[in-house]
Amino acid sequence: MSKLRITLKIIVYLLSITLSIFSALIGYDAYNLASQGIIVGKSSTVQGTEYVNISVPITIRVPGYFFDLSRINITIVIIDEKNHQYARDCELIPYIPLGGEKNITIELSLPITVAQQWVNGSITLYSKFIIRFWFSKYNYDFLGFGIAGRSELQRE
Amino acid sequence: MGRIRTSISVLSTFVSLVILPIMSVRTVYNMGVIVPKFDELTIIILGCSITVLTLIDGLTPGKAGALFSFIKYSASAYYSYKILNMFSWFIYQSQQGYAELYVDWGLWLILVISITLLSGLLSAISKAVEKPKKEGEPKKS
């Protein structure tokens, strides 16, 4: 009976240690991804007759220790103070293995009338960056994260 | 379980389930991060309930103790479910910008609850098979 009790206690401790190790791995991978995993490059602008086309190169790397990334959805939206949307584009990356990287380009078409109003200073524009992804392993999605950040577009 | 071990267990349960979550939310609030779904009252009620169950579990021997042990772990699983759902939306606002973080606990939440319930079951069985102390046997503190 005593042996059974000790065995059960050991299993309980092992389960709690496993949970703690997994928590630490998620924390470590999330920290690495946040600090060096998402690199937004310098955007380029091409002016057309009706639209100003803005290209934003983005590199997603998986620099962690254990988890892969899956179902990565990256969206950039250009909005004003009232959350009115002027341009939007999104890219979906199904899977990036541990240590891998993927380059994408977000293409935004901003109406030229809006761009002129913004240059004149009559409206303030913001870019909203949204990224959603899952930490996955062995084809199982363990934990999902969604990050949205908004910043004001700066005039040169 | 000895009385000293029970006291330490009760104290650590109260600190980790009530004090730490409330203090950490207040700390991040001072740094500009809001946790909109956080409900302090639910944390206090659930945390205190689990603390009381830890005390009863520690003081009750045999099969009754095993039952309380399983109830305690079940309550902990429910606490995990509630607190993880509370920590699923964070807002950071400053003069420089605005950011939001969403966490979908998905399979991780199922894993946490399953492991907690399994641990509860194993812990309860181990307590149930514990040999009762014989008369005259010196008590361990």
Domain boundaries along the sequence of chain B? 3-128
Pairwise CB contact (< 8 Å): B119 & A15: yes
Q: What is the mean pLDDT of residues A137-148?
A: 90
Q: What angle is formed at CA A105 by the lines to CA A101 and CA A109, rounded to 5 degrees? A: 165
* High-pLDDT (> 90) share of chain A, %: 45
Q: What is the mean pLDDT of residues A52-68?
A: 91
Place of tokens 């950071």: B92
List pLDDT tens digits, range B73-130: 999 999 999 999 999 999 988 777 788 999 999 888 998 899 889 988 988 888 888 7
Q: Which residues of chain B does A149 touch, with a Cβ-Cβ cutoff of 8 Å?
A: 97-100
pTM over 0.90: no
List pLDDT tens digits, range A65-124: 889 999 999 999 999 888 899 999 999 999 999 999 999 999 999 999 999 988 888 888
- pLDDT score of B141: 43
Work out the burial of residue B33: count CB atoms within 10 Å of its CB; fewer than 13 is exposed, 13-18 middle, 19 or more buried.
Answer: middle
List pLDDT tens digits, range B2-37: 788 889 989 999 999 999 999 999 998 988 889 999
**Of the partner residues B98, B104, B106, the one whose CB lies closest to the CB of residue A150:** B98
**Of the partner residues A142, A150, A152, the one whose CB lies closest to the CB of residue B107:** A142
* Domains detected in chain A: 2-152 (2.60.40.10)
